[in-house]
A = this chain, B = another copy of it.
Amino acid sequence: MSLKGNALIGQSGGPTIVINASLVGAVQEAQKTDSIDRFFGGIHGLDGVLNEKFIDLFREDDNVIDALKTTPSAALGSSRLKPKEADLERVLQVFKAHNIRYFFYIGGNDSQLTCHKISELAAGSDWEMRVMGIPKTIDNDLPITDTCPGFGSAARYAAAAVQYASKDAEAFGNGEVIEIMGRHAGWMTGAAQVGRLDDYMAPHLVYLPEVAVDIDDIANDAKAAFKKHGYVVVAVSEGLELTKSAEDEAKLDEFGHARLGGVAKALAGMLEEKVGVRFRHDTLGNLQRCFAASVSETDFNQAYAVGQQAVKLAVEGETGYMITIDRESDEPYAWHLGMTELMNVADKTKYVPRDWVNEAGNGVTEEFIRYAKPLIQGREVALPTGIPAFPRLQKHFIEPKLPEYVRTK
């Protein structure tokens, strides 16, 4: 069912190493069809949509677009803006003013909710258009899809960092606590265990936000691992939960206070005291989502494919869906693309299942490893010899057509 007009795409939420691959997948697919006249990129996600800050992606240099594939972070700029009712009305006005018949939004749980709302609004209006969500989040916590583009590369960086840092801890016979992103879901932290090929190797202990643990249990486990190996490495999610019992209250207060300086720092301080050896700490921080040299090949391919597929299906007539990655087998790893209605993923979170964490809550199971391993493999690429430098969009801005928009507070 043919629908001709312009398209608009936005990037939303935390950037990733491969979110631009999804953008490029969409642009390069759109170049193949007659249905899309102009392809606009919204600057800073929904912000740019509301304020008509679009650039004309078809006017960018083809080589720059292609080079963006391997450029980390969000080339269009990102946003964490959540739309209110009035914002949604404005979005529709903007679509009409610029003859936008296709809208694509690359993002995680919150962003897919925004996408869902826009899709519903369009469906209930007199404006014929197609709206598709493109999955992205290093947290890997979108439901339905087997994995989320962005996760594999971020987890690969974290897993490698744990192995590297473990050699440093081993050299001094120290303890080391490594804080990995994940406030609510422990996919990233669990994946660090993929690098542990035998008992001696790090990370010896792995704590996810899904399973609350007792601080004394952590200390006892760390003590035992230290005694056995002469060093101990603890990988911990930023969202670590400690068990709450009446008698624990004092130490939880203490931990809560120390935590203001970061979970890794707080935990390292407490373990140093309780285990009686020096504990250092590292917080992997923002580099997890932008250290492009650690890209996962699977992740990169999937990110490109979901962007491409969203455009392809929209042009074919689909609307109201998010593209998914469906797993066929663990080893050899095989996958294909699918889709799910936006309402199924909007604002929903996929946690690590309890039975993918061991009973003690200090490591993940073989099933988790089988799941994560194929997602965090690298690719055999030669790194550039210089310090990385990235292509820049020329950003041909389009002329706004509506009165200036002032958001209601």
Binding site for B on A (CB under 8 A): 11, 15, 44, 71-75, 77-79, 156, 159-161, 163-165, 167-168, 170-173, 176, 194-195, 197, 200-201, 260-262, 265, 280-287, 289-294, 297, 376-390, 392
In the assembled complex, the Cα of A79 lies from the Cα of B280 at a distance in Å of: 15
A195: nearest chain-B partner, CB-CB: B387
In the assembled complex, the Cα of A282 lies from the Cα of B15 at a distance in Å of: 16
- Per CB-CB distance, the 3 closest pairs between chain A and chain B, nearest first, are A73-B167, A195-B387, A74-B171
Contact call A293/B160, Cβ cutoff below 8 A: yes
A291: nearest chain-B partner, CB-CB: B164
Could you tell me the distance in whole angstroms from the C-beta of A197 to the nearest C-beta in chain B?
6
In the assembled complex, the Cα of A62 lies from the Cα of B163 at a distance in Å of: 23
Residues of chain B within 8 A of A200, CB atoms compared: 392
Could you tell me the distance in whole angstroms from the C-beta of A139 to the nearest C-beta in chain B?
16
In the assembled complex, the Cα of A291 lies from the Cα of B44 at a distance in Å of: 32
Could you tell me the distance in whole angstroms from the C-beta of A173 to the nearest C-beta in chain B?
7
Given contacts A160-B388, A382-B382, A384-B378, contact A282 B293 (CB under 8 A): no
Q: Which of A176, A282, A377 has the most CB of B within 10 A?
A: A282
A293: nearest chain-B partner, CB-CB: B293
Residues of chain B within 8 A of A293, CB atoms compared: 160, 293-294, 383
Could you tell me the distance in whole angstroms from the C-beta of A168 to the nearest C-beta in chain B?
5
In the assembled complex, the Cα of A288 lies from the Cα of B261 at a distance in Å of: 21
Contact call A73/B168, Cβ cutoff below 8 A: yes
Could you tell me the distance in whole angstroms from the C-beta of A51 to the nearest C-beta in chain B?
13
A14: nearest chain-B partner, CB-CB: B168
Could you tell me the distance in whole angstroms from the C-beta of A16 to the nearest C-beta in chain B?
10
In the assembled complex, the Cα of A389 lies from the Cα of B376 at a distance in Å of: 14
Contact call A172/B292, Cβ cutoff below 8 A: no
Contact call B168/A15, Cβ cutoff below 8 A: yes
Could you tell me the distance in whole angstroms from the C-beta of A330 to the nearest C-beta in chain B?
16
Residues of chain B within 8 A of A286, CB atoms compared: 165, 168, 176, 280, 282
A389: nearest chain-B partner, CB-CB: B197
Given contacts A165-B286, A291-B164, contact A385 B297 (CB under 8 A): yes
Residues of chain B within 8 A of A75, CB atoms compared: 171
Residues of chain B within 8 A of A289, CB atoms compared: 168
Residues of chain B within 8 A of A388, CB atoms compared: 160, 163-164, 195
In the assembled complex, the Cα of A173 lies from the Cα of B167 at a distance in Å of: 36
A201: nearest chain-B partner, CB-CB: B389
27 contacts between A and B (CB under 8 A): A73-B167, A74-B171, A75-B171, A77-B170, A77-B171, A78-B171, A160-B291, A161-B287, A163-B387, A167-B390, A168-B289, A168-B290, A176-B286, A194-B387, A281-B285, A282-B285, A282-B287, A283-B283, A283-B285, A293-B383, A376-B387, A377-B386, A378-B386, A379-B383, A380-B382, A380-B384, A383-B383
Could you tell me the distance in whole angstroms from the C-beta of A103 to the nearest C-beta in chain B?
20
Contact call B285/A167, Cβ cutoff below 8 A: no
Given A79-B172, A380-B384: 5 more A-B contacts, CB < 8 Å: A72-B168, A73-B167, A73-B168, A78-B171, A261-B262
Residues of chain B within 8 A of A194, CB atoms compared: 387
In the assembled complex, the Cα of A172 lies from the Cα of B77 at a distance in Å of: 6
In the assembled complex, the Cα of A77 lies from the Cα of B274 at a distance in Å of: 24
Could you tell me the distance in whole angstroms from the C-beta of A329 to the nearest C-beta in chain B?
18
In the assembled complex, the Cα of A382 lies from the Cα of B172 at a distance in Å of: 30
Could you tell me the distance in whole angstroms from the C-beta of A180 to the nearest C-beta in chain B?
13
Residues of chain B within 8 A of A282, CB atoms compared: 283, 285-287
Residues of chain B within 8 A of A159, CB atoms compared: 387
Contact call B291/A171, Cβ cutoff below 8 A: no
Residues of chain B within 8 A of A176, CB atoms compared: 286
In the assembled complex, the Cα of A171 lies from the Cα of B136 at a distance in Å of: 15
Residues of chain B within 8 A of A161, CB atoms compared: 287, 291
